Amino acid sequence: MTTFANALASAAVVVTVGAVVVLWRHRLRSIVLALAVQGVALAVTAALLAGHEHDRVLFAVALLVLAVKAVVIPGLLVRVVAATPGARESDPLVNVPASLVVAGLLTLAAFIAARPIVALVGGPTGRLVPLGLATVLIGFFVMVARRRALSQVVGLLLVDNGIALVAFLVTSGVPVIVELGSSLDVLFGVVVLRVLLARLTAAGFSDLDQLRSLHD
């Protein structure tokens, strides 16, 4: 029982730490790598829950998560990064030390805000719900504080991963049809954003605030 709880806690912490790493690193390749690691940790969380509940369908969901969030989406993003080798998040709107402090505060806020859910769910899974919420908030903060268009996409995916983590922990695994639907939605969104990113890069935009010149 404790092994399961420890393993689950480790996987969930990796998900949140992955989000913090995205805030910390400058190189876009590292950011995408952190996202991929986070996807693996999410799949591991689902697999652990599947093993614990003896639920084969949930195991299929874990495989799906692994395929989409650890392989396909990071793969798509890596191809964007490869188009501009050595690209960096050079001049974030909020610098890295300040961002890390904000991430800490957001995690604190997540723990405070999630208290009712923790009380409701209870047990080893319930205690981890604040980590999912913290991932959501940090992902949102990435979108606000980072200039690169690619960082925005990664921020959105962090939000999605955080929501997925909360969903796994609260419901002990979501039905496969729901997970399939949301994964496909995200995949579709990433494909669209990838095309958009390629077009933006081709047009000479990489900083989203340059788009302000389109404002009337």
In the complex with other proteins, which residue's Cβ is closer, 89 or 179?
89
Cα(132)–Cα(136) distance, rounded to whole angstroms? Answer: 6
In the complex with other proteins, which residue's Cβ is closer, 2 or 213?
213
**54 binding other proteins? (CB under 8 A):** no
| In the complex, least distance from residue 39 CB atom to other proteins, rounded to whole angstroms | 23
| In the complex, least distance from residue 155 CB atom to other proteins, rounded to whole angstroms | 9
SS3 14: helix
95-114: contacts with other proteins (CB under 8 A)? 106, 109-110, 112-114
Cα(16)–Cα(38) distance, rounded to whole angstroms? Answer: 8
Among 54, 97, 203, 209, binds other proteins (CB under 8 A): 209
Nearest to 155 by CA among 145, 166, 170: 145
Among 13, 98, 101, 144, binds other proteins (CB under 8 A): 144
In the complex with other proteins, which residue's Cβ is closer, 40 or 106?
106
Nearest to 137 by CA among 19, 11, 14, 9: 19
| In the complex, least distance from residue 196 CB atom to other proteins, rounded to whole angstroms | 12
**140 binding other proteins? (CB under 8 A):** yes
Packing angle, helices 73-83 and 176-202, rounded to 10: 10
Q: What are phi and psi of 88, to 5 degrees?
A: -130, 155
Q: Please, are residues 61 and 173 in contact by the beta-carbon 8 Å criterion?
A: yes
Across 47-76, b (16+ Cβ under 10 Å) vs e yields bbbbebeebeebbebbebbbebbbebbbeb
Number of residues that bind other proteins (CB under 8 A): 24
Cα(141)–Cα(134) distance, rounded to whole angstroms? Answer: 10
In the complex with other proteins, which residue's Cβ is closer, 63 or 109?
109
SS3 189: helix
Among 13, 82, 83, 93, binds other proteins (CB under 8 A): 93
Among 30, 84, 152, 182, binds other proteins (CB under 8 A): 152
**129 binding other proteins? (CB under 8 A):** no
Among 137, 150, 164, 190, binds other proteins (CB under 8 A): 137
- Name the site residues for other proteins (rule: CB under 8 A): 93, 106, 109-110, 112-116, 137, 140-141, 143-145, 147, 152, 208-209, 211-215
